[in-house]
Amino acid sequence: MPITPANGGSAETAETAVPSASEEPIMLELVDEDGTTIGTAEKVSAHLPPGRLHRAFSVFLFDEAGRLLLQRRALGKYHSPGVWSNTCCGHPYPGEPPFVAAARRTGEELGLAPALLREAGTVRYNHPDPASGLVEQEYNHLFAGLVRAAPRPDPEEIAEVAFVTPDELEKLHGEAPFSAWFMTVLDTARPVIRELTGAAAGW
């Protein structure tokens, strides 16, 4: 399981840190239990306990060997810093289709475009983050796909990346901290992941 650190530097992006008072607030799309848009809220305020249900997305990308591309979130992230998680996750801008947001953030965070990306369902969850005290109340749109290019992670977003088999993921999950939402989104996306990667990949 080779782990690749992120190198270089770049300007801080929308998902990294709490915006300063002089910056434009980052707005999220609030939704009801059916995923229907009901308004907007500033990003950090939507994550304060007990949290406000908002739209999100999660991406799972696999190489030609069927290994999952993981990222370890940068230590400068305001939420869940330094933990391992799925390939990419985030929030669409208000009015932005989740598929478009997923492709956009994959490019921004990892410096690559998926060779294939398809919908893998939705899941609604409530996951408090014990480290930060923030709460993920999310209606999450899931996407799974294939990647052929080498990732070029933005170090402001990602500390390191790794391609893992199911066995390697199980070992890493037992040894290192993962995001609170990781297993929820992975388990929900597994049927589509299995279609994409084939039975031999073991997902």
Closest C-alpha to 109, from 53, 163, 64, 69: 69
Measured at the CA of 81, the angle between CA 201 and CA 159, to 5 degrees, comes to 60
Annotated active-site residue 136? The verdict is: no
Question: What does DSSP say about strands 68-73 and 116-128: parallel, antiparallel, or unpaired?
Answer: unpaired
64 is a catalytic site residue: no
Catalytic option among 15, 109, 138, 157: 138
Q: Which of 15, 89, 136, 156 is catalytic?
A: 89
- Judge contact between 88 and 68, C-beta under 8 A: no
Q: What pairs with residue 143 in β-bridges? A: 59, 119
Residues with a catalytic annotation lie at: 89, 138
